[in-house]
Amino acid sequence: MTWRFLRAVVAGLLLAACAVIAPVPASAAAPARIMALGDSITGSPGCWRALLWKHLQDTGHTDVDFVGSLPAPGCGFTHDGDNEGHGGILATNIVRDNQLPGWLSSARPDVVLMHLGTNDVWNNIPAATILNAYTTMLGQMRASNPSIKLVVAQIIPMNPSNCSACAQRVVDLNAAIPGWAKANSTAASPITVVDQWTGFSTSADTTDGVHPNSSTGIQKIESRWYPAVVAALGGGSTPTAGLHVEGTRVVEANGTPFVMRGVNHAYVWYPTQNRAFADMKSFGTNTVRVVLGSGQRWGPTPASEVTNVISLCKQNKMICVLEVHDTTGYGEQSGAATLDQAATYWVGVANALKGQENYVVINLGNEPFGNNATVSATWASATSSAISRLRSAGLQHLIMADAPMWGQDWGNIMRDNATSVFNADPQRNTVFSIHMYGVYDTAAEINAYFDAFKSAGLPLVVGEFGHNHSDGNPDEDTIMAQAQARGLGYLGWSWSGNSSDVAYLDMTNSFNPASLTPWGERFLNGTNGVRATSKEATIFGGGGGGDTEPPTTPGTPVASAVTSTGLTLSWTASTDNVGVTGYDVYRAVGSGAFTLVGSVASTTYADSGLTPSTTYRYQVRAKDAAGNVSANSGIVSATTSAGGGSGTCKVAYSAQNWGGGNGFTANVTITNTGTSTVNGWTLAFSYPGGQKVTLPGWGATFAQSGANVTATNLTWNGTLAPNASANVGFNATYSGSNPAPASFTLNGSTCTTA
Cα–Cα distance between 193 and 225 in angstroms, integer? Answer: 10
Cα–Cα distance between 244 and 252 in angstroms, integer? Answer: 6
- What type of residue sits at position 105? S
Cα–Cα distance between 168 and 197 in angstroms, integer? Answer: 12
Cα–Cα distance between 225 and 195 in angstroms, integer? Answer: 9
Cα–Cα distance between 416 and 425 in angstroms, integer? Answer: 17
Cα–Cα distance between 257 and 623 in angstroms, integer? Answer: 13
Cα–Cα distance between 478 and 528 in angstroms, integer? Answer: 10
DSSP-derived pairing of the beta strands 111-115 and 32-38 = parallel
Q: What is the distance, to the nearest Å, from the Cα of residue 594 to the centroid of all Cα atoms in its chain?
A: 20
Nearest Cα residue to 276 out of 512, 523, 514: 512
Under 8 Å between Cβ of 148 and 22: yes
Catalytic annotation present for 521? no
Q: What is the distance, to the nearest Å, from the Cα of residue 335 to the centroid of all Cα atoms in its chain?
A: 35
Question: 339 vs 191, 384, 454, 724, CA distance in Å?
Answer: 41, 10, 26, 66
The string over 612-651, giving b where at least 16 C-beta atoms fall within 10 Å of a residue's C-beta and e elsewhere, is eeeebbbbbbbbbbbbbbbbbbeebebebbebebeebbbb
* β-pair partners for 244: 251
Cα–Cα distance between 17 and 112 in angstroms, integer? Answer: 8
- Give the DSSP letter of residue 504: G
User: Of 367, 445, 476, 536, which residue is the catalytic one?
Assistant: 367
- Give the DSSP letter of residue 260: -
Sheet with strand 558-560: strands edge to edge: 558-560, 567-570, 604-607
User: Of 222, 445, 464, 476, which residue is the catalytic one?
Assistant: 464
Under 8 Å between Cβ of 691 and 733: yes
Catalytic annotation present for 367? yes
Three-class SS of 160-229: CCCCCCHHHHHHHHHHHHHHHHHHHCCCCCCEEEEECCCCCCCCCCECCCCCECCCCHHHHHHHHHHHHH
Q: At what angle do helices 476-486 and 518-525 cross, to 10 degrees?
A: 20
Under 8 Å between Cβ of 90 and 119: yes
Cβ within 8 Å of residue 573, ≥6 positions away = 554, 555, 580, 603, 622
Cα–Cα distance between 107 and 134 in angstroms, integer? Answer: 19
| Helix (H), strand (E) at residue 22 | none
Q: What is the distance, to the nearest Å, from the Cα of residue 362 to the centroid of all Cα atoms in its chain?
A: 20
Cis-peptide into 494, omega within 30 deg: yes
DSSP-derived pairing of the beta strands 430-436 and 398-402 = parallel
Alpha helices in 511-576 (DSSP H): 518-525, 530-533
Under 8 Å between Cβ of 620 and 554: yes
List, by residue number, the catalytic residues: 367, 464
